[in-house]
Structure 1
Amino acid sequence: MATIYYTATTLDGFLATPDHGLDWLFEVPGSDVAEDAIPDFTSSVGALTMGSSTYEWVVRHENLLEHPEKWREWYGDRPTWVFTSRSLPVLEGADIRFTRAPIAQVHAEMVAGAGDRDVWLMGGGDLVGQFADAGLLDRVVVTIAPVTLGAGAPLLPRDIRSDRLTLVSVVQRGQFAELTYDVT
């Protein structure tokens, strides 16, 4: 069981545009090749978390308010914690838990909810940084897209030095490079 930050980023280290857009990711030729790896990863996941901006993007992008059943296509019945200080829409049939609780407390709940499977930190980068600050980040799997944005939401806005990161693998997925690092 591991707590894993699994995400995609631009070559210059941004998760999203300044207005939280991800169109850049889907415009890359061959992005479906990179997406082919997602089901293998999610099959090992027992619980996940995300910040409010990520949740809002998923809800909007997948039109989940009108089609809440689509949540299960990607996330199944896994418990999902959404860190937020705002009221957000609840999706019928999804096990979504909105929280403002401390990271360590929620992480313990997530580990219990995941059973013997992994915990997926979807993002955003600052939320994942809080897990890293608390010593609760075990692995980073980042797929780098051949795109630069110049500005936006940073991949992981923390100072984590090479003595804490060990490169485990590099995989080419079409135009994308997937890097996996263990975090100590």
Structure 2
Amino acid sequence: MGKLIYATNTSLDGYLEDESGSFDWSVPDEEVHAFWNEHERRIGTSLYGRRMYETMRVWEDDDWLTTEPAVVREYAEVWRDADKIVYSSTLAGVSTARTRIERQFEPETVRRLKEMSSSDLSIGGADLAAQAFRHGLVDECVLLLCPVLVGGGKPALPRGVRLDLELLDHRRFGNGVIYVHHAIRPASFPSTA
């Protein structure tokens, strides 16, 4: 059975993008990029909301990668090797391999996907992840806390959800980014505050 893992970069004040929709403050250096490469290697299927998919599909194209460091090119290979499910009611089609569209988020379908999976799954996009958190589907949470305050924007974690967590791992990177890895405690049940 695979675990569903929510993993994202976040500002220290809890946002994954600022009020203008920018996340340029979270671009990883080589050390952090290598961490993400290793993390993503364990993922067999990535679940994306439409906006996250549109951001990530750049990894399908080789043109811009030719002058990038090896760690960046490696991430593209890892990303391409995973299956992708995009949740969107408006997206007409997909432009990447190993990708399919689901028109709506069905919690029971995701539960079955986890049960049948021999590898872990990831969920990307704050809105989609919030649905998964609310339905008790997220097993682990990986956050890279960037040393910046952005003052507002899109919250990295869902509002109105209370879950008890268990710290599994942590690390400090040379650029000041802090990695924290938590499991959702089994006794936790999503609830609104």
* TM-score, with length taken from structure 1: 0.81
SS of corresponding position for 1:36: helix
Amino acid at match of 1:39: N
**Aligned equivalent of 2:25:** 24
**Aligned equivalent of 1:15:** 16
**Aligned equivalent of 2:123:** 121
SS of corresponding position for 2:170: strand
**Aligned equivalent of 1:96:** 99
Report the alpha carbon displacement of residue 17 of structure 1 after superposing the two structures with TM.
Answer: 2.4
> Using the alignment, how far apart are the partners of 2:60 and 2:76 within structure 1?
13
The change in CA–CA distance for 1:101 and 1:161 in structure 2 (over 3 A counts) is: closer
After TM superposition, the structure 1 = structure 2 runs for residues 30-41 of structure 1, keeping only pairs within 5 Å, are 31-41=29-39
SS of corresponding position for 1:49: strand
Report the alpha carbon displacement of residue 102 of structure 1 after superposing the two structures with TM.
Answer: 3.1
Report the alpha carbon displacement of residue 152 of structure 1 after superposing the two structures with TM.
Answer: 1.4
Between the aligned residues of both structures, percent identity stands at 25
SS of corresponding position for 1:158: coil
* TM-score, with length taken from structure 2: 0.78
Contact 2:89 2:103 in 1 (8 A): yes
Amino acid at match of 1:161: R
The change in CA–CA distance for 1:73 and 1:120 in structure 2 (over 3 A counts) is: same
Contact 2:59 2:76 in 1 (8 A): no
Report the alpha carbon displacement of residue 42 of structure 1 after superposing the two structures with TM.
Answer: 1.5
Contact 2:88 2:102 in 1 (8 A): yes
Q: Give CA deviations for 1:91-117 in whole Å, capped at 9, x if unaligned.
A: 25x11111123331441464367x311
Amino acid at match of 2:38: D
The change in CA–CA distance for 1:2 and 1:62 in structure 2 (over 3 A counts) is: closer
Q: Please list every run of 5 or more consecutive structure 1 residues that lacks an aligned counterpart in the other structure.
A: none
> Using the alignment, how far apart are the partners of 2:109 and 2:161 within structure 1?
22
The change in CA–CA distance for 1:97 and 1:22 in structure 2 (over 3 A counts) is: same
After TM superposition, the structure 1 = structure 2 runs for residues 13-162 of structure 1, keeping only pairs within 5 Å, are 13-26=14-27, 31-59=29-57, 62=59, 64=61, 73-92=77-96, 94-108=97-111, 110-111=113-114, 115-122=117-124, 124-161=125-162
Q: Please list every run of 5 or more consecutive structure 2 residues that lacks an aligned counterpart in the other structure.
A: 65-72, 186-193
> Using the alignment, how far apart are the partners of 1:74 and 1:5 within structure 2?
17
Alignment: residue pair count: 174
